[in-house]
């Protein structure tokens, strides 16, 4: 246990590449508040999501379970509002359930995108969310007090306004609070952002986003964005406007006098490429779907003064499925045992200590029929039933330019990595929610899997 009952603010962005912050080495993008957060806390260089698309990644953060366990395999296209709304995590235990059971007041401002968006779920008492997974930045479709509304202002500001009201209301309560601030920035659309922020990038050369030759697997998003300077300005502006709002939250924690007793976490739900490798997008930015580093690696920063060392760059390899067990360990709370959880606590890494017990860290990812195993040196990507497969030498080819899966000299390595990957998934996959048996297209999930179509479901699910 790191400290007794701190407040928690978890800021989660949408489609932010690991390169899209100044503190991660990008000299062009303006993120003074993320840079400040990293200077006052710990920046993780090797934090990976469990799937390179939003809804299933968010479900894994919340549950510590992979898509082939919790059953969310793609971004949720249907079942968010109205008579067909479905609670996709209905049968899961989230860390927010545990927090609420142990006295934390839980609130969310921003993106939920896990179904039944009009109904507060999983321990949340305060609930101001998007109706779907996103939408326009002005006149955004939102939900407040269960009612469908359109938010007339800039939605990144509106999410922050709501979050600040929550902080003001709960800062000095006896009970600690947990607040999710889930921005849709920098997700598309990129055409409409505050003009004064867009103008900051009028003269930017965008060398950090090389517009490479079109990837042969690129999808239609690439056709409209590759080489389009306005799209680059919009993406960068979305990040910078979001960063300004992160600064508002950090300033309010200071003004309320609760900075020292508040754990701040910053992450993104998946990475993103803006022309890198010749495509725009994330895991579904190509067909077949991809597991490039820019899709599966995300920024991750934590700050808790006096507990987490300041100004530290953590090199430990961590997965989003480790997040729930680590957070609960940090708080001294029990990890639910009702459902198998694939991750483990990496608390020593959060505290800046050497992480004993994980001599060789291996990561696993999935997105429908595409699965991955990644060590510190190698990445193997397997697409069922018959490929194409990939083997990347991450030491000598960190930009993933030379697929060596067909190199005879690597045949034994391919067999060994594939066998390890298949053994791991066989250990954890739940047959009724196995991603290999779902029609995952990258175009959105239409309904929960493994749910009976009967009248016994709760009203919000029917």
For the chain, what are the domain ranges? 7-351
CA neighbours within 13 Å on the CB side: how many for 360?
5
The tens digit of pLDDT for each residue in 145-170 reads 999 999 999 999 999 999 999 999 99
Give the Cα separation of 30 and 27 in Å (integer): 8
Whether residue 341 has a cis bond before it, omega within 30° of 0: no
Q: Collapse the DSSP code of 360 into the 3-class scheme (helix H, G, I; strand E, B; otherwise coil) and give the result.
A: coil
The tens digit of pLDDT for each residue in 3-52 reads 579 999 999 999 999 999 999 999 999 999 999 999 999 999 999 999 99
Q: Note the pLDDT of residue 373.
A: 98
Q: In residues, how long is the chain?
A: 462
Q: Note the pLDDT of residue 455.
A: 41
The tens digit of pLDDT for each residue in 367-398 reads 999 999 999 999 999 999 999 999 999 999 99
Read off the tokens for 338.
């009702």
Q: Note the pLDDT of residue 160.
A: 98
Q: Collapse the DSSP code of 98 into the 3-class scheme (helix H, G, I; strand E, B; otherwise coil) and give the result.
A: helix
In the chain, % of residues over pLDDT 70: 95
The tens digit of pLDDT for each residue in 257-301 reads 999 999 999 999 999 999 999 999 999 999 999 999 999 999 999
Pairing of strands 124-130, 105-110: parallel
Alpha-carbon separation of residue 165 from 246, 261, 309, 404, 435 (angstroms)? 14, 18, 29, 53, 40
Q: Note the pLDDT of residue 159.
A: 98
The tens digit of pLDDT for each residue in 323-350 reads 999 999 999 999 999 889 999 999 999 9
Strand order in the sheet with 378-383: 363-367, 370-374, 378-383, 390-393
Q: Note the pLDDT of residue 430.
A: 96
pLDDT surpasses 60 at 84: yes
Contact (CB, 8 A) for 322 and 44: no
Give the Cα separation of 303 and 281 in Å (integer): 29
Read off the tokens for 97.
């359930």
| Domain range 7-351, CATH class | alpha beta
Task: Pick the closest to residue 157 from 242, 32, 237 (CA basis).
Answer: 242
Q: Note the pLDDT of residue 361.
A: 83
Q: Note the pLDDT of residue 36.
A: 98
Residue 5 Cα to chain centre, angstroms: 25
Task: Pick the closest to residue 113 from 44, 194, 193, 15 (CA basis).
Answer: 15
326-341 burial, b at 16+ Cβ within 10 Å, e below that, comes to: bbbbbbebebbeeeeb
Q: Label residue 460 by pLDDT band (50, 70, 90).
A: very low
Give the Cα separation of 164 and 324 in Å (integer): 25
Q: Collapse the DSSP code of 348 into the 3-class scheme (helix H, G, I; strand E, B; otherwise coil) and give the result.
A: helix
């Amino acid at each position: 246990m790191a400290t007794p009952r701190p407040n928690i603010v978890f800021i989660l962005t949408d489609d932010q590449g690991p390169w899209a912050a100044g503190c991660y080495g990008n000299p062009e993008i303006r993120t003074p508040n993320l840079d400040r957060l990293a200077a006052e806390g710990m920046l993780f260089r090797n934090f990976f999501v469990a799937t390179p698309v939003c809804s299933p990644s968010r479900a894994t953060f919340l549950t510590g379970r992979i898509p082939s366990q919790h059953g969310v395999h793609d971004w949720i296209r249907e079942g968010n509002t109205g008579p067909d709304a479905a609670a996709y995590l209905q049968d899961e235990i989230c860390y927010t359930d545990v927090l609420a059971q142990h006295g934390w007041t839980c609130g969310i401002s921003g993106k939920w995108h896990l179904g039944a968006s009009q109904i507060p779920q999983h321990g949340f008492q305060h609930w101001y969310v998007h109706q779907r997974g996103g939408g326009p930045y002005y006149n955004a479709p939102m939900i407040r007090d269960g009612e469908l509304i359109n938010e007339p202002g800039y939605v990144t500001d509106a999410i922050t306004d709501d979050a600040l009201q929550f902080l003001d209301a709960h800062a000095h309560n006896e009970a600690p609070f947990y607040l999710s601030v889930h921005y849709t920035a920098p997700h598309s659309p990129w055409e409409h952002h505050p003009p004064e922020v867009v103008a900051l990038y009028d003269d930017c050369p965008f060398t950090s986003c090389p517009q490479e030759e079109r990837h042969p697997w690129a999808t239609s998003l690439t056709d409209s964005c590759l080489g389009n300077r306005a799209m680059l300005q919009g993406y960068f502006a979305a990040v910078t406007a979001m960063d300004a709002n992160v600064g508002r939250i950090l300033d309010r924690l200071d003004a309320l006098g609760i900075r020292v007793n508040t754990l701040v976490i910053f992450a993104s739900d998946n990475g993103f490429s803006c022309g890198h490798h010749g495509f725009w997008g994330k895991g579904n930015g190509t067909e077949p779907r991809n597991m490039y580093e820019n899709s599966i690696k995300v920024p991750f920063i934590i700050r808790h003064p006096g507990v987490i060392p300041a100004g530290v760059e953590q090199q430990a390899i961590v997965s989003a499925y480790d997040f729930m067990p680590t957070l609960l360990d940090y708080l001294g709370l029990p990890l639910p045992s009702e459902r198998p959880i694939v991750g483990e606590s990496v608390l020593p890494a959060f505290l800046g200590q050497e992480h004993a017990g994980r001599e060789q860290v291996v990561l696993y990812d999935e997105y429908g029929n595409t699965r991955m195993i990644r060590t510190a040196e190698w990445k193997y990507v397997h697409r069922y039933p018959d490929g194409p497969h990939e083997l990347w030498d991450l030491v000598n080819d960190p930009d993933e330019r030379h697929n060596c899966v067909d190199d005879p000299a690597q045949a034994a390595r391919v067999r060994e990595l594939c066998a390890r990957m298949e053994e791991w998934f066989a250990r954890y996959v739940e047959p009724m929610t196995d991603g290999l048996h779902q029609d995952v297209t990258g175009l959105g999930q239409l309904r929960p899997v493994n749910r009976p179509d009967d009248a016994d479901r709760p009203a919000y699910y029917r």
